[in-house]
Structure 1
Amino acid sequence: MGVLSGRFKEVLMLLFIVFVHEMGHVWMARRFNWDVIKIELLPFGGAAVLEPKGIRPAREEAWIVCWGPLQHTWMMGLSYFLLHTTDVWMVQDHQLFISHNMAILLFNLIPIHPLDGGRLVHLLYSAFLPYKLAMRATRLTSLILLFIGFFVVLIFMLKLNLIMIFSFLILTLILDYRQRNYRFIRFLMAKLDDQTSTKRSNLYVEKETTLRVVSEKIRKNHLHTVVLVENHVRTTYSLAAVLDVYFQKGAHVTIDELNKR
């Protein structure tokens, strides 16, 4: 629509800003040896689909998430430089470029999944909560903020582009909810060969505890040992051994049944 209405320069400007933002994520991901699956570009944002290759330190993901928004700082600085050193970059270009940069930057920092702000919120939750509970808390936070934002847009602003963006985010959140079990299973499979986590912690269980309950206690960057204390006797299991039974026999198996194997 921007091209048809004679706003070709503005469309190019938006696509350039989004491209540089996403390439910031990609560049940092490559530095940490993550796989880059694809990059999607839209006028109101983009998405770099990355594969972390198993469990990776939270600091890596935090750097990757933050490196996209940080690109806006040098882009805005470049605009100021071009404005004062060339005759090509006019005041109108500069003002438009700065406003688009600020809009995309602030929009991406909204704590709604899958925006950068939402990913940072998920990392924060993961630092204190088990992975499955962190996923649930992130979805709930995103849902509350989405409906608040959607309500504000409908009642006070009523702009079609904002309505489309919030509708897209709601759809993305619905799809993420439908894929929650798949994401959790992928996380558990990655924990079978977790070679980067350094924090050690115990998961205390009873003999009637099912492996489903154990799996829901697992935290992202922790090396867990499953501990059963009964009649002053302490029995320990490696998390890899527990997850191996989880995948072979099912989540309904109890800790007591592990002793009978």
Structure 2
Amino acid sequence: MSSLNILRHFHVHPVLWVMVGIGILTGSFLQLLSIFLIVLAHELGHYGMALFFRWRIRTVMLWPFGGVMETDEHHTRPFKEEVAVILAGPFQHIWIFGAIAILDTFSILSSGFIELLYTYNIVILLFNLLPIWPLDGGKLMFLLLSHQFPFVKAQVYSLYCSLVTIVLAFGLSLFFLPFSLSTVMLGCFLLWENRLEWKQRQYAFLRYLLRRYEEKRLPVNAIHSIHVTEDLPIHQIFKQFKRGTHHQIFVNFKNNTRAIIDEGECLYYYFTLKQSSASAKELADWCAT
């Protein structure tokens, strides 16, 4: 991929531009530039690993103390692959520590600024590991939950945990540390991102189902049986789908008989035939014809 195409993927969030303006006005532009370069190196780690696995990357949005890489994979890649992409960002901080040590050894920068760089690097690393969406810790938490619980429940659990962590983390920082406008802005920004993710969770789930339907060779770790009644709407069946699992759907009829439906047939009935409001019985009748 050419360097021009790579640059087209990267964008700077307006909040970061606001903080740059504040830095210029307050005389802390050099410190903000250092933070920006550390964040950029962090995101290049995610980006490089995603390219290695041939992910379809849409954008990489840079914002204070981190960034967000949007792809077209929609949670359908192998577990180890997704973990590698998530952790590739935090691992960049290891060589950044080495680079800072080299600058310190040759006295290229003042000792005070070196200490500041060490602080920025460790703070950005630890901050991104917090279980807050869409930080790396939040994505890793969702990934782990989605392999233990149905996708929909994993969404809810991870966002609840994210919200609680935001309130606790920024509440404690404002209580124990001096008031900082950038801290307040960052807390508000994360709350806003979580609010958007909550509002769009149904859309994200549908994208996941659609990608699951389109991809014919998804990684499967287990086969899981889903037992439903004949009156259950088909969209409620999907809420029991779990990542890394292939589902066999058992429809139990009122006459004590049952039908077995593969998840592929269920997804085809929903997306291709557009029977989004059909019941499990109607699905079973269609499969039987």
Q: Do the structures match in fold with TM over 0.5?
A: yes
Counterpart of 1:82?
103
> 2:157 aligned with 1:137, yes or no?
yes
Counterpart of 1:101?
121
Cα distance in 2 for partners of 1:256, 1:203 equals 14
> 2:191 aligned with 1:198, yes or no?
no
Asked whether the 8 Å contact 2:49–2:84 carries over to 1, the reply is yes
Aligned-pair distance for 1:229?
Answer: 5.0
Matched residue SS, 2:227? strand
Aligned-pair distance for 1:154?
Answer: 4.2
Unaligned runs of 5+ in 2: 1-21
Aligned-pair distance for 1:55?
Answer: 1.7
Counterpart of 2:169?
149
Report the AA paired with residue 114 of structure 1: P
> 2:230 aligned with 1:207, yes or no?
yes
Cα distance in 2 for partners of 1:51, 1:14 equals 28
Report the AA paired with residue 130 of structure 1: P
Aligned-pair distance for 1:135?
Answer: 0.5
Counterpart of 2:42?
21
Matched residue SS, 2:123? helix
> 2:258 aligned with 1:243, yes or no?
no
Counterpart of 2:61?
40
Counterpart of 1:184?
205
Matched residue SS, 2:224? strand
| Partner of residue 145 from structure 2, selected from 125, 130, 137 | 125
Report the AA paired with residue 192 of structure 1: Y
Counterpart of 1:254?
279
Q: Percent identity?
A: 30
Matched residue SS, 2:133? coil
Do the aligned partners of residues 23 and 201 (structure 1) sit closer, same or farther apart at CA in structure 2, a change above 3 Å counting? same
Asked whether the 8 Å contact 1:79–1:97 carries over to 2, the reply is yes
Asked whether the 8 Å contact 1:56–1:221 carries over to 2, the reply is no
Cα distance in 2 for partners of 1:258, 1:37 equals 35
Aligned-pair distance for 1:63?
Answer: 0.8
RMSD across aligned positions (CA)? 2.0
Cα distance in 2 for partners of 1:137, 1:53 equals 18
Q: How many correspondences in the alignment? A: 260
Cα distance in 1 for partners of 2:93, 2:189 equals 23
Do the aligned partners of residues 156 and 97 (structure 1) sit closer, same or farther apart at CA in structure 2, a change above 3 Å counting? closer
- TM-score scaled to structure 2, two decimals? 0.83
> Could you list the per-position Cα deviations for residues 109-153 of structure 1 after superposition, in whole angstroms to 9, with x for gaps in the alignment?
110111111001101111100001100111111112222234334
- TM-score scaled to structure 1, two decimals? 0.91
Asked whether the 8 Å contact 1:153–1:163 carries over to 2, the reply is no
Asked whether the 8 Å contact 2:55–2:71 carries over to 1, the reply is yes
Aligned-pair distance for 1:213?
Answer: 1.8
